[in-house]
């Protein structure tokens, strides 16, 4: 029999599915639904292995749910705005639009070659005016609802990408894309009011059981809620300064007040103090070299001012400007309590300030408690604190709060680390912001009837800066309110806005409104979302915010966009370097005589560690070359096998070969099955012997593989399928044809979501006229998955001595006496009587000697 020709077969089945519109999802709102979504790709031009892994996992789930009878939504689109298109325009002179759509066309073909069960009729790109038109409408809706505002603020400026960035997009002080050190600038920009939902975004995390704990924690830390107090110190110059503290209980341990170098008061003082100007400049210089922060010494400048203790008019504290106080957090000013805060302690030791413990551990006398070079941050009782003495930390906090509030000096507040989402980008290839700046009327929203505000085509990239701003005419428009000459906002929206609601648009891509309420009510939330961990905060937090905004505006009825989230691991591959330390592609390296050489030469190659596939390290394998050689099913199977889906997976040639052999093996099992009864033949309900054995193996495989797929344990489902294949090849020749047919059909159907083309071919070879994609998922017969005999492990003193089979439900006495009579047990007991015999039903017997 001929081998399975994956290449031909796969193309044929893809055409056959298309011809039947097999994956076009009807908006039939009466059926039970399942919305499976993978993070949509940026159209860079080629798919990479990460895409293959991501989309394979989603596809398996989509096909599995479909077979189970769900109405499945499994769409695909393109996150198509962004800088690479603009950079390509600058570098190669191409038009960003043409470049993007050409990339989309190429990638669509590549995705289709994977045989994905996607409803392509719902495809869209975020750069389609028919998409961003709705986004502009939503922007205006959000604006009217108070969720969008414009403000001047210190912003993160990426000098390489030439635009501002949101806080989430600054990683270790550098732009997330460019890697350039971010500068601070004061600019008027647009913000989404994500902080309006700080508490809600935080609290909901506790109920999102189907999200990875890790992602929830990262978001929790990012939102960074802390409860404390704001209160004021009166200063010797007649002014006052407000501080924020989570530890007002330690107020009697205070030994200084410190201001951020960026604090307005510090700036005011600096105006009259040359040394302070120099100090502030020094702080800012260190501040930009982010690596230095970790080791940065605590530095302070004594302003000469004093602050009066809120509870003692005679107690004066020195006021410093200190480099470790951040303007961006709290009020930009603190009181320092060295005994109970490490930073304050470091600072106090350096400048010789008092260190007075005011919280001592339970059971310790305050006289015996001293703080060395480690601040005490644990629980305890208040001491050296006048009216607070003897209270625990919580009581003291409450008491201080009550007194400060009563005195009108402070208030309890909750502070968040999360700040509003800055969405203005000084770039061309993004969604234009539908706002007009009128000299008379100020900020005026564009009329909805004028949407979409389209990007102009005739833009120049040969001059630096924002092409929309440079455009000779585009920005000049009459004011929508007064008709006087005015100017459009020339910024575009952060591309993360585009991806913050695309899942809602997929519910009905033809809807006149941005989101069809009826379709959204049916399809949302996404049942299973799959993508990379790199979006743990950025995209996933923005989408959660946006969904709340959509709900507020009445577009949807859900708070959370993604009921289940799965973050897949990355792909890794060995790295190679030549003698000059330059990275080499795997194709440039050959192995011979047990060593690695540059192909065709005797130059020895250095083998590096396996690392995440990346272009810069040249350790990438192009999916299309693998699909070309082995077919899509092989690469799909590889992505699912062995490694749990959340972990990083090592790409190996041997692994792929093994998968390819299994493809052939399944095909062979079917073609060489011999004479089988026709489709529909049922095995004898009272099978026994070898027939029963194979039937049990079949039904156990169904039960186990189904459970594993439900839990996204693809690697285990794969193992179950191998076991079934082994059981089929190992079955005796005499096994009844109907039993063999049942086993083979089951194998094909279980394989179906994972290797869909192979499954269709085999299904046809088994005599079916229908397709696997229209066949229901097999159901395990509980009678056949249960065991009628049980193997007891027999231990003596916890050591395995024998395994003995008993009928299911054998009574303890029988088990015990039979086991004690076993030769192995007698030998191990060596004539001594057992002290105790533990029988765990259906599992184990342990004899204690």
Partner RNA sequence: GCGGGCGUGGCGGAACUGGUAGACGCGCUGGAUUUAGGUUCCAGUGACGCAAGUCGUGGGGGUUCAAGUCCCUCCGCCCGCACCA
Positions in 770-799 near RNA (CB under 7 A): 791, 793, 795, 797-799
Pull the structure tokens for residue 142.
């959000």
Cβ neighbors of 342 (< 8 A, separation 6 or more) are 374, 375, 377
Identify the residue among 191, 192, 252, 324 touching RNA (CB under 7 A): 324
Q: Near RNA by CB under 7 A, which window of 552-560, 591-599, 673-681, 824-832?
A: 824-832
Name 704's Cβ contacts closer than 8 Å, sequence gap at least 6.
716, 717, 720
* Neighbour-count burial for 781-805, b at 16+ CB within 10 Å, e otherwise: eeebeeeeebebebbbeeeebbebe
Binders of RNA: how many residues, by CB under 7 A? 83
Phi–psi pair at 525, nearest 5 degrees: -80, 165
Exactly one of 332, 380, 445, 778 binds RNA (CB under 7 A); that residue is 332
Residues 686-725 touching RNA, rule: CB under 7 A, are 713, 715-716, 718-719, 722-723
How far is CA 164 from each of CA 173, 434, 443, rounded to the nearest angstrom? 13, 19, 20
Helix H or strand E segment including 185: strand 183-192
380 or 467, CB closer to RNA?
Answer: 380
| Cα separation, 477 vs 486, whole angstroms | 5
Cβ pair 361, 380 in contact under 8 A: yes
| Near RNA by CB under 7 A: residue from 350, 661, 808, 826 | 661
Instruction: Please report whether residue 563 would count as binding RNA according to CB under 7 A.
Output: no
How many whole angstroms separate alpha carbon 143 and alpha carbon 434? 11
Smallest separation (angstroms) from RNA to the CB of 55: 20
Which has the closest alpha carbon to 303: 344, 353, 259? 259
Query: Residue 487 CB, nearest distance to RNA (Å)?
Result: 36
Candidate residues 106, 286, 481, 765; the one interacting with RNA per rule CB under 7 A: 286
Report the alpha-carbon distance of residue 802 to residue 481 in Å, rounded. 90
Q: Which of 620, 649 has the CB closer to RNA?
A: 649
Q: Does 662 bind RNA (CB under 7 A)?
A: yes
In the 3-class helix/strand/coil scheme, how is 720-734 assigned residue by residue? HHHHHHHHHHHCCCC
Q: Closer CB to RNA, residue 415 or residue 548?
A: 415
Q: What 8-state DSSP symbol labels residue 678?
A: P
Question: With CB under 7 A as the contact rule, which of the stretches 180-188, 599-607, 655-663, 748-756 interacts with RNA?
Answer: 655-663
Q: Which is nearer to RNA, 443 or 765 (CB)?
A: 765
Residue whose CB is less far from RNA, 371 or 681: 371
Residue 184 has a CB neighbour count (10 Å cut-off) of: 12
Neighbours of 462 (CB within 10 A): 8
Closest CA to 324 of 286, 357, 271: 286
Least separation in angstroms between residue 512's CB and RNA is: 40
Instruction: Say whether residue 5 binds RNA (CB under 7 A).
Output: no
Stretch that binds RNA, among 463-471, 472-480, 551-559, 726-734 (CB under 7 A): 726-734
CB atoms within 10 A of CB 673: 17
Q: Between 177 and 343, whose beta carbon lies closer to RNA?
A: 343
Q: How far is the CB of 440 from RNA (least distance, A)?
A: 41
Stretch that binds RNA, among 8-16, 106-114, 184-192, 224-232 (CB under 7 A): 224-232
Sole window of 75-83, 664-672, 763-771, 808-816 interacting with RNA (rule: CB under 7 A): 664-672
- 828 φ, ψ to 5°? -70, -35
- What secondary structure letter does DSSP report for 807? E
φ, ψ of residue 77 to 5 degrees: the values are: -150, -170
Distance, in Å, from the CA atom of 792 to the CA atom of 804, rounded to the nearest integer, reads 5
Single out the residue of 149, 329, 596, 597 in contact with RNA (rule: CB under 7 A): 329
What is the C-alpha to C-alpha distance for residues 468 and 472, in angstroms, rounded to an integer? 9
- The window from 129-137, 445-453, 491-499, 823-831 that contacts RNA (CB under 7 A) reads 823-831
Written as six digits, the tokens of 272 are 């009259």
Q: Where are the alpha helices (DSSP H) in 28-128?
A: 49-67, 83-92, 96-113
Q: What angle do CA 211, 212, 213 make, to 5 degrees?
A: 110
State in angstroms the smallest separation of the CB of 730 from RNA. 6
Distance CA 510, CA 530 (A): 25
Q: Which residue in 270, 325, 375, 739 binds RNA (CB under 7 A)?
A: 325
- Least Å distance, CB 534 to RNA, is 8
Q: Closer CB to RNA, residue 433 or residue 717?
A: 717
Task: Identify the residue among 172, 448, 450, 521 touching RNA (CB under 7 A).
Answer: 172
CB of 727 to RNA, least distance (A): 9
Residues 828-847 touching RNA, rule: CB under 7 A, are 828, 836, 838, 840, 843-844, 846
| Closer Cβ to RNA, 462 or 593, answer by number | 593
- Which residue lies nearer to RNA by CB, 510 or 827? 827
The secondary element (H helix, E strand) that includes residue 218 is helix 213-223
> Considering the rule CB under 7 A, would residue 343 count as an interface residue with RNA?
yes
| 8 A C-beta contact, residue 547 and residue 593 | no
The label of the residue with tokens 């230095």 reads: 292
Q: Is 729 among the residues that bind RNA (CB under 7 A)?
A: yes
| Site pattern 480..519 for RNA (x: CB under 7 A) | ----------------------------------------
Round to whole Å and give the CA distance between 144 and 164: 24
Cβ count within 10 A of residue 90: 15
- Which residues, numbered 416-455, are part of the site for RNA (CB under 7 A)? 417
The rounded distance, in Å, linking the Cα atoms of 740 and 637 is 24
| Residues 174-213 close enough to bind RNA by CB under 7 A | 213
Q: How far is the CB of 527 from RNA (least distance, A)?
A: 23
In the three-class reduction of DSSP (H, G, I as helix; E, B as strand; rest coil), residue 655 is classed as helix
Query: Is the CB of 207 or the CB of 661 nearer to RNA?
Result: 661
Only one of the segments 14-22, 122-130, 149-157, 643-651 lies at the binding site for RNA (rule: CB under 7 A); that segment is 643-651
CA distance 387 to 390: 9
* Choice between 148 and 712, CB closer to RNA: 712
Among 642, 681, 731, 820, contact with RNA (rule: CB under 7 A): 642
Closest CB to RNA among 595 and 679? 595
Please state, in angstroms and rounded to a whole number, the distance separating the CA atoms of residues 143 and 281: 38
Residue 644 CB neighbour total at 10 angstroms: 13
Number of residues assigned to the chain:
849
Residue 330 interacts with RNA (CB under 7 A): yes or no: yes
Choosing from 293, 398, 553, 731, the residue that interacts with RNA (CB under 7 A) is 293
Residue (103 or 746) nearer to RNA, CB: 746
Q: Give the nearest distance from C-beta 258 to RNA in angstroms.
A: 8
Residue pair 486/477 in contact (Cβ under 8 Å)? The answer is yes
Contacting range for RNA; rule: CB under 7 A; set: 219-227, 385-393, 504-512, 589-597 = 219-227
Among 179, 644, 679, 807, binds RNA (CB under 7 A): 644
Among residues 91, 294, 457, 593, which is the contact residue for RNA, using CB under 7 A?
Answer: 294
Least CB distance to RNA at residue 757 (A): 19
Residues 6+ apart with CB under 8 A from 677: 737, 738, 741
| Residue selected from 27, 95, 178, 226 as contacting RNA according to rule CB under 7 A | 226
Which residues in the 228-257 window bind RNA by CB under 7 A?
A: 228, 244-247
* Minimum separation from the CB atom of position 381 to RNA (A): 20
Q: Is 50 in the site for RNA (CB under 7 A)?
A: no
Transcribe 538-558 into DSSP letters: HHHHHHHHHHHHHHHTTS-S-
**Considering only 144-152, 288-296, 480-488, 682-690, which stretch makes contact with RNA by CB under 7 A?**
288-296
């Amino acid at each position: 029999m001929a081998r399975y020709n994956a290449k031909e077969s796969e193309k044929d089945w893809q055409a056959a599915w298309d011809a039947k519109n097999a994956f076009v999802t009807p908006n039939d709102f009466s059926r039970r639904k399942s919305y499976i979504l993978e993070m949509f790709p940026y159209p860079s031009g080629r798919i990479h292995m990460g895409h293959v892994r991501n989309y394979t996992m989603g596809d398996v789930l989509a096909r599995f749910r479909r077979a189970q009878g769900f109405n499945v939504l499994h769409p695909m689109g393109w996150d198509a705005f962004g800088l690479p298109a603009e950079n390509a325009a600058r570098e190669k002179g191409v038009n960003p639009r043409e470049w993007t759509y050409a990339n989309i066309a190429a990638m669509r073909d590549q995705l289709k070659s994977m045989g994905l069960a996607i409803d392509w009729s719902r495809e869209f790109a975020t750069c389609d005016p028919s998409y961003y038109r709705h986004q502009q409408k939503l922007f205006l809706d959000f604006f009217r609802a108070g969720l969008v505002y414009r403000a001047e603020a210190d912003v993160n400026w990426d000098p390489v990408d030439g635009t501002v960035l949101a806080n989430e997009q600054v990683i270790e002080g550098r732009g997330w894309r460019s890697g350039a050190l971010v500068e601070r600038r004061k600019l008027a920009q647009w913000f989404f009011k994500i902080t309006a939902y700080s508490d809600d975004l935080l609290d909901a995390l506790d109920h999102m059981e189907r999200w990875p704990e890790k992602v929830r924690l990262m978001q929790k830390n990012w939102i960074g809620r802390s409860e404390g107090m704001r209160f004021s110190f009166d200063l010797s110059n007649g002014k006052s300064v407000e501080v924020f503290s989570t530890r007002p209980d330690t107020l009697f341990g205070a030994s200084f007040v410190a201001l951020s170098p960026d604090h307005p008061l510090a700036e005011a003082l600096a105006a009259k103090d040359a040394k302070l100007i120099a100090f502030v400049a020094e702080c800012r210089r260190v501040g930009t070299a982010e690596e230095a922060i970790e080791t940065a010494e605590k530095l302070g400048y004594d302003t000469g001012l004093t602050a009066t203790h809120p509870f003692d008019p005679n107690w004066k504290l020195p006021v410093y400007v200190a480099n470790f106080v951040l303007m961006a957090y709290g009020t930009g000013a603190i009181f320092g309590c060295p005994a109970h805060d490490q930073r304050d302690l470091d600072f106090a030791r350096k400048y010789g300030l008092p260190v007075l413990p005011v919280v001592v551990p339970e059971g310790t006398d305050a006289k015996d408690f001293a703080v060395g070079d480690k601040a005490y941050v644990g629980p305890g009782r208040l001491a050296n604190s006048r009216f607070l003495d003897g209270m625990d930390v919580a009581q003291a906090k409450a008491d201080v709060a009550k007194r400060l509030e009563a005195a009108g000096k402070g208030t309890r507040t909750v502070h968040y680390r999360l700040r509003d989402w800055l969405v203005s980008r000084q770039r061309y290839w993004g969604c234009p912001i539908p706002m007009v700046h009128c000299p008379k009327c100020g900020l005026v929203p564009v009329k909805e009837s004028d949407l979409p505000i389209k990007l102009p085509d005739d833009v120049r990239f040969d001059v630096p800066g924002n092409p929309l701003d440079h455009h000779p005419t585009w920005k000049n428009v009459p004011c929508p309110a007064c008709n006087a000459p005015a100017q459009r906002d020339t910024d575009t929206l952060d591309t993360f806005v585009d991806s913050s609601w695309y899942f809602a648009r997929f519910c009905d891509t033809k809807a006149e409104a941005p989101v069809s309420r009826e379709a959204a009510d049916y399809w949302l939330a996404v049942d299973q979302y799959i993508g990379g961990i790199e979006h743990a905060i950025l995209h996933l937090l923005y989408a959660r915010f946006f969904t709340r905004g959509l709900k507020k505006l009445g577009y949807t009825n859900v708070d959370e966009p993604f009921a289940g989230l799965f973050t897949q691991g990355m792909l890794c591959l060995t790295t190679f370097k030549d003698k000059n330390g330059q990275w080499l592609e795997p194709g440039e390296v050959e192995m011979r005589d047990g060593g690695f050489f540059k192909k065709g030469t005797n130059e020895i190659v250095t083998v590096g560690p396996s690392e995440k596939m990346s272009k810069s390290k040249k350790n990438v394998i192009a999916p299309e070359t693998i699909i070309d050689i082995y077919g899509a099913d092989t690469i799909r199977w590889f992505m699912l096998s062995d490694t749990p889906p959340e972990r990083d997976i090592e790409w190996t040639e041997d692994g792929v070969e093994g998968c390819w052999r299994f493809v052939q093996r399944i095909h062979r099992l079917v073609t060489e099955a011999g004479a089988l009864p026709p489709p529909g033949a049922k095995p004898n309900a009272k099978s026994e012997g070898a027939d029963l054995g194979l039937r049990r193996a079949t039904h156990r495989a169904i039960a186990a593989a189904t459970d594993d797929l439900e839990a996204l344990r693809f690697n285990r489902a794969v193992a179950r399928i191998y076991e079934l294949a082994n059981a089929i090849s190992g079955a005796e020749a005499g096994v009844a044809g109907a039993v063999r047919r049942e086993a083979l059909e089951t194998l094909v159907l279980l394989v179906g979501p994972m290797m869909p083309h192979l499954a269709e071919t085999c299904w046809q070879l088994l005599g079916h006229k229908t397709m696997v994609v229209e066949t229901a998922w097999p159901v395990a017969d509980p009678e056949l998955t249960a065991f009628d005999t049980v193997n007891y492990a027999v231990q003596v003193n916890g050591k395995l001595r024998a395994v003995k089979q008993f009928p299911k439900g054998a009574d303890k006495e029988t088990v015990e006496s039979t086991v004690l009579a076993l030769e192995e047990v007698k030998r191990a007991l060596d004539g001594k009587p057992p002290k105790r015999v533990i029988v765990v039903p259906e599992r184990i017997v342990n004899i204690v000697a």
